[in-house]
């Protein structure tokens, strides 16, 4: 009998991708009619980002996209998830599209298709036009309708070439980090506004999905990407279980409730009555938010470990979502977050691939028949070139190997996972952390903007080409 272990293989049609977002990579923030987004304003506000760094240039993808696409093809990627800059396409968030702005995305998509790479387009990755924020932003109902109009404009321009459409990326971050804790743009700290923003993001998603459905060719391609949390209680004590349920409602139920079931969890409404009366939810909103989806994108990095507060201790903020005196968890100040055990990335996040399996299986149960994509998964490490200019990142290879092993286990257990997008294609502007956290499989020298594939990029590319998960110790 052979002692060899069967290789871990993936289905032939499985998509192997990488992901980015517009503000993090494009640069060219004042070119071709683009106007400021909330992230331009936020990053130029003193004290908001590490060392005052901005995405003004980022990694200059706007001018280097052809080389970047060629690099994707060289690595063996079969899919690429990118986002559109709303203020590049519709500078005021209203009115007709600026065709020169759309032309950039037309060129990008054409370049991807010419290299055999499937584009996956995200309409909103946190960069609301500043003019819409000045009018109230996501806490205002009108923003949802403006988003649907924008979605229709992009759909009409690119629907003949793009098959995969994602309405929102991580709306939890937009609502609760942007309007609750203030560590993301626009930097507001109002828990009631955060809950209003969450509702209007749900509404905007549904309106946009319907707008896309009306203008896209008849095919199955509309999704949303949620950073659904894997929330674990520190113990089986009833108080800790109740704390986990409250955070699960705020992290997950607030979005998948309306989107997948057409209702908010009653426990969420009850737990947040001291913050808001939810009168902003109007008749028909939840039906709109529950517009049919063709797939669900899930972003996963690390699990959350929580317990009920005891004694004089109040809500510690070891939740991995940045430092702020204001919580992104409205109505849950008596819930404590704890560091999960295990190795940590440069973000301080524990490495726990089993959380990705748990997440995939949860939505296999809760949304049966809905195809799943891992639309983000990755890790930041302190990557540096060696004297020969090579960048070895064995920690990232081990991270990817562990998480892809769990994706394959979920497939074997019945999860309909259609693809995986590594975050991120290349090092870039990491929001409030500036350029200090490197998530990329491709190293970027920020002085010269030269791109150098790390060992993990070569390892991942080989996995993409063969569909076979190589040993974690190889590059």
Catalytic residues: 170, 376
Please state, in angstroms and as integers, the Cα–Cα distance from residue 89 to each residue in 36, 94, 125, 215, 354, following that order: 12, 10, 14, 17, 40
Rounded Cα distance between 44 and 27, Å, is 14
| Closest alpha carbon to 121 in 217, 225, 30 | 225
Cβ atoms of 357 and 277 within 8 Å: the answer is no
Cβ atoms of 79 and 118 within 8 Å: the answer is yes
Cβ atoms of 283 and 197 within 8 Å: the answer is no
Alpha helices in 251-353, H assignment, sequence order: 254-256, 266-271, 285-289
Residue 284: partners with Cβ closer than 8 Å, 6 or more residues away: none
| Closest alpha carbon to 26 in 70, 74, 75, 68 | 68
Token digits of residue 70: 């060629």
Cβ atoms of 422 and 403 within 8 Å: the answer is no
312 burial level (CB within 10 Å; 0-12, 13-18, 19+): exposed
């Amino acid at each position: 009998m052979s002692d060899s272990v069967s290789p871990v293989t993936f289905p032939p049609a499985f998509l192997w991708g990488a992901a980015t977002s517009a503000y993090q990579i494009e640069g060219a923030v004042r070119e071709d009619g683009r106007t400021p987004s909330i992230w331009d304003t936020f990053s130029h506000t003193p004290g908001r980002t590490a060392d005052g760094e901005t995405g003004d240039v980022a990694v200059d993808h706007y001018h280097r996209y052809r080389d970047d696409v060629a690099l994707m093809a060289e690595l063996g990627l079969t899919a690429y998830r990118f986002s559109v800059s709303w203020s590049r396409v519709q500078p005021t968030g209203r009115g007709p599209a600026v065709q020169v702005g759309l032309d950039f995305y037309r060129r990008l998509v054409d370049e991807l298709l010419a290299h055999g790479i499937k584009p996956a387009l995200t309409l909103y990755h946190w960069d609301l036009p500043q003019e819409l924020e000045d009018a109230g932003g996501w806490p205002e109902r009108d923003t949802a309708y403006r988003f649907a109009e924008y979605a229709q404009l992009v759909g009409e321009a690119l629907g003949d070439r793009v098959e995969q459409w994602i309405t929102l990326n991580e709306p939890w971050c937009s609502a609760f980090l942007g309007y609750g804790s203030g560590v993301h743009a626009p930097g507001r700290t109002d828990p009631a506004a955060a809950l209003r923003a969450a509702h209007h993001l749900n509404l905007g998603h549904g309106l946009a999905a319907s707008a896309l459905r009306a203008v896209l060719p008849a095919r199955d391609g509309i999704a949303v990407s949620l950073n659904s949390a894997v929330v674990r209680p520190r113990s089986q004590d009833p108080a800790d279980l109740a704390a986990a349920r409250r955070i699960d409602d705020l992290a997950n139920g607030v979005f998948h409730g309306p989107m997948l079931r057409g209702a908010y969890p009653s426990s969420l409404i009850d737990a947040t009555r001291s913050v808001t009366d939810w009168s902003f939810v109007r008749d028909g909103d939840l039906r709109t938010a529950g517009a049919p989806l063709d797939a669900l994108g899930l972003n996963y990095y690390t699990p959350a470990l929580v317990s009920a507060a005891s004694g004089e201790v109040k809500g510690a903020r070891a939740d991995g979502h940045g430092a702020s005196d204001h919580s992104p968890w409205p109505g849950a100040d008596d819930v404590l977050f704890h560091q999960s055990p295990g190795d940590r990335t440069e973000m301080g996040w524990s490495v726990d691939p089993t959380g990705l399996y748990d997440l995939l299986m949860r939505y296999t149960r809760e949304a049966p028949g809905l195809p799943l994509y891992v639309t983000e998964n990755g890790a930041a490490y302190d990557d540096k070139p060696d004297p020969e200019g090579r960048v070895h990142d064995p920690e990232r290879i081990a991270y990817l190997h562990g998480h892809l092993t769990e994706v394959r286990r979920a497939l074997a257990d019945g999860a309909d996972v259609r693809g995986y997008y590594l975050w991120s294609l290349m090092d870039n502007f990491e929001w409030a952390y500036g350029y200090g956290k490197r998530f990329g499989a491709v190293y970027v020298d920020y002085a010269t903007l030269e791109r150098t594939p790390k060992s993990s990029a070569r390892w991942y590319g080989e996995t993409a080409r063969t569909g076979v998960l190589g040993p974690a110790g190889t590059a």
